[in-house]
Amino acid sequence: MRGKILALELLKILLENAGAVFRTSDRFLGAIKQYLCLSLLKNSASTLMIVFQLSCSIFISLVSRFRPGLKAEIGVFFPMIVLRVLENVAQPNFQQKMIVLRFLEKLCFDSQIMVDIFVNYDCDVHSPNIFERMVNGLLKTAQGVPPGVVTTLVPPQDTTMKVEAMKSLVAILRSMGDWMNKQLRIPDPHSSTLADNVGGGNDLPVANSFGEEAADGMEAQTEIANGISEAVSLEQRRAYKLEVQEGISLFNQRPKKGIEFLISANKVGDSPEEIAAFLRNASGLNKTLIGEYLGEKEELSLKVMHAYVDSFDFEGMEFDEAIRTILQGFLLPGEALKIDRIMEKFAERYCKCNPKAFTSADTAYVLAYSVIMLNTDAHNPMVKNKMSPDEFIRNNRGIDDGKDLPEEYMRTLYERILRKEIKMKENDLAPQQTQSMNSNRIPGLDNILNIVIRKRGDQLMETSDDLIRHIQEQFKEKARKSESVYYAATDVVILRFMIEACWAPMLAAFSVPLDQSDDEVVISHCLEGFRCAIHVTAVMSMKTHRDAFVTSLAKFTSLHSAADIKQKNIDAIKAIISIADEDGNYLQEAWEHVLTCVSRFEHLHLLGEGAPPDATFFAIQQNELDKSRQAKSSMLPVLKRRGPGQMQHAAAAARRGSYDSAGVGGHASGAVTSEQMSNLISNLHMLEQVGISEMNRIFMQSQKLNSEAIIDFVKALCKVSTEELRSTLDPRVFSLTKIVEIAHYNMNRIRLVWSSIWHVLADFFVTIGCSENLSIAIFAMDSLRQLAMKFLDREELANYNFQNEFMKPFVDVMRKSRAVEIRELIIRCVSQMVLSRVNNVKSGWKSMFMVFTTASYDEHKNIVLLAFEIIEKIVRDYFPYITETESTTFTDCVNCLIAFTNSRFNKDISLNAIGFLHLCATKLAEGDLGFSGRNKGKESCSNSISSPHKEKEGKRESTVY
**Of 230, 315, 335, 821, which one is the catalytic site residue?**
335
Which backbone phi and psi does 455 adopt, to 5 degrees? -90, -50
- Element spanning 365, H or E: helix 361-379
Residues 645 and 632: their CA atoms lie apart, in Å, by 11
Residues 328 and 280: their CA atoms lie apart, in Å, by 10
Which amino acid type is present at position 920? Answer: C
Nearest alpha-carbon partner for 68 in 39, 28, 128: 28
Contact 320, 422 (CB under 8 A): yes
Q: Report how many helices (DSSP H) and strands (DSSP E) the chain contains, helices first.
A: 45, 2
Query: What is the separation of C-alpha 897 from the centre of its chain, rounded to a whole number of angstroms?
Result: 59
Nearest alpha-carbon partner for 411 in 315, 317, 316, 320: 320
Which amino acid type is present at position 72? Answer: A
- Element spanning 260, H or E: helix 255-264
Contact 375, 422 (CB under 8 A): yes
3-state secondary structure 52-75: HHHHHHHHHHHHHHHHHHCHHHHH
Beta-bridge mates of residue 400: 403
Which backbone phi and psi does 289 adopt, to 5 degrees? -75, -30
Contact 622, 615 (CB under 8 A): no
The length of the chain, given as a count of residues: 961
Nearest alpha-carbon partner for 79 in 44, 43, 51: 44
Contact 438, 482 (CB under 8 A): no
- The set of residues, in sequence order, having a beta carbon less than 8 Å from that of 695 and lying 6+ positions away, is 577, 598, 601, 602
CA–CA–CA angle 404, 406, 411 (5° rounding): 115
Residues 160 and 94: their CA atoms lie apart, in Å, by 10
Distances (CA, A) of 185 to 178, 179, 182, 706, 921: 10, 10, 5, 16, 65
Residue 335 falls in the annotated catalytic set: yes
Which amino acid type is present at position 699? Answer: F
Residues 361 and 367: their CA atoms lie apart, in Å, by 10
Encode 663-673: b = buried (16+ Cβ within 10 Å), e = exposed. bbbbbbeeebe
Q: Catalogue the active-site residues.
A: 335
